[in-house]
Chains A and B, each alone.
Chain A
Amino acid sequence: MTSAVAVLTWRNLRKVSRNPMIVFSSLIQPVVFLVLFSAVFRSIEQTPGFPPGTSYVDYLVPAILITSIGTSSVQAGVGVAVDLNTGIIDRFRSMPIRAEAVLVARSLWDVIRGMGQTLMLVFVAAVFLGFQFHSSLLGVLGVFAVVALFGWALSWLYIAVGTTTRNVETTQMAGFIITFPFMFASTAFVPSSSLPGWLEAFTTVNPLSQAVDASRALALGGPAAAEVIESLVASAALALAGTMLALFACCRASR
């Protein structure tokens, strides 16, 4: 199982190295958000509820990292749907490997790809917008861990969609429908205190918002334990639900 996962992850790496444009094009949206929002929402720095002494860019970048891995993790589901629509899945299944290995490899690959994307975004933000971390190295690693776990959890959700629908367009559409409300009904761009009451209540159960809070707390330094635990629990729950759904759909489809 382990070696099959490693080989299949290599396969995904080779595929992307054939189309490097995919990686860059998936950077476009987060970079645009980063540049636009840091200019458009700068005045939020002055609103009550915004952490005092913090620049909006430093506040925004952790959220962009989360929303960007959130949008790109839909590729995991798309990749699985593509495989299911070609004969290659039959070849995998006629081989002495576990069908689950294909899905696990896909989710792992998307974490690797997502983290590469995350590093590039941090680099762009630091060089061009003056972003910086205000925490120890441990805090920085914590940010990456929260982002990675959230992306991995969400990729399972999309893999579940991909294995259930077996349709590329539907999976892409699901990604769009899931991502946008969760992205904007969150604390990603504005503090929760500036949101209407019902929306503020929603952010407390929105896993994307929780991941944003955790990575932001870690990036800005200061106490972060509560946010991190909350986010880890939410991501783990999401991953568990997605995995169960995906494995159920995959095994049902195999018979």
Chain B
Amino acid sequence: MNQPAVVTEALGRSFGATVALQQVDLRVDGGTITALIGPNGAGKTTLVRILATLLRPTSGRASVAGFDVVSRPAEVRRRNGLTGQYTAIDEDLTGRENLVLFGRLLGLSGRNAGRRAEELLSEFDLGEAARRPVRGYSGGMRRRLDLAASLIARPVILFLDEPTEGLDPTSRMVLWQVIRGYARQGTTVLLTTHYMEEADEPADRVVLIDHGRITAEGTAEELKSRVGGRAMVVTLSGPSDVDLAERALEAGGWEGWTATDPNLLYVPAGSGADLVDLMGRLAASGAQVENLRIDTPSLDDVFLAMTGQVSSGGETGNSLAFEAPAGLGDRRDRR
């Protein structure tokens, strides 16, 4: 159970002059769900493809279920299941035929492949469509079939690259139910996602990747506490009030706060005393306050804070390739 399912050491991959992944040291314990989050182009897919033996690393080492991905790819392939970003099923075949095809390729007999196909079809609620060509499936049905195909051999480790991308909430729920079920039975799950709530809720560990490096990892709670716990979000009446408030905070020597458009002030808070202090300062500054609320940080905040840090660290100017959460608008760092 606690034997590591994935271990990488100083793993790196370049495509020509482009460095997609560098110095990645990752450890995923057996039987856990780990979420890789990061902006587009951060290297999540590259990492998953290396672990699934689809891509060779250009530096460092990686092993899956104890087998090196470069020297023992066949052993790794016997133990993993992969659901990539693009559905990997045959459009001309029926759902059942797809599962039988992959089952046979995994070495099951015709009879066992058929039985396993039936099991999976009912598990993923595809029984009715089983004998129709995939060409006529909806996006959600395709994704479910795709995931079912990755689970035929009951893999020790399951790689999911944005498994719920473009799915409606119901399809997403079905997918998560099944994934959790397999995880409970001991399957290790490594997934990449854009949806913070997906990393937040089911994942035991969250790994943040940016510019090809791991920038943070831990449980969702640990990461949230690292961005400073709760925050106060102040809505001011107008731009002039924002200026007044900013001057008041600067005068008080406060750090880590940001002004966001339009007319929002985002102030991470360490203790209750800060709240009282903040209200006093705002009142004294004469800034018109319309609203004040206390935000509990989400993984979105972690994400923004962490990728923002890399950016202000001066590596490149562009790290907020990710959509900001609704309502917070464009957040500028004022450190």
Contacts and interface: CB of A to CB of B under 8 A. Distances in A.
Interface of A: 3-4, 7-8, 10-11, 14-15, 18-19, 86-97, 254-255
A14 B82 contact: no
Contacts of B150: 91
Contact of A87 (B52, B74, B81, B86): B86
Contacts of A96: 74, 77-78, 106-107
Contacts of B78: 96
Given A18-B133, A94-B54, A94-B77, A86 B88 contact: yes
Contact of B88 (A18, A19, A90): A90
Contacts of A15: 90, 92-93
Given A3-B104, A7-B101, A90-B54, 13 more contacts: A4-B105, A7-B105, A8-B105, A11-B101, A15-B92, A18-B92, A87-B89, A88-B88, A88-B90, A89-B88, A91-B84, A91-B88, A255-B56
B106 A95 contact: yes
A97 B86 CA distance: 20
Interface in B71-127: 74, 77-78, 80-82, 84-93, 97, 101-102, 104-107
B240 to A, nearest CB: 54
B231 interface: no
A87 B54 contact: no
Nearest to A82: B91
Nearest to A4: B105
Contacts of A3: 104, 107
B84 A90 contact: yes
B199 to A, nearest CB: 23
Q: Which of B88, B102, B133 has the most CB of A within 10 A?
A: B88
Contacts of A19: 92
Nearest to B85: A87
Contacts of A8: 105
A255 B89 CA distance: 22
Contacts of A97: 105
A121 to B, nearest CB: 25
B53 interface: yes
Given A7-B105, A95-B106, A96-B106, A87 B84 contact: yes
Contact of B93 (A7, A14, A87, A94): A14
A255 B90 contact: no
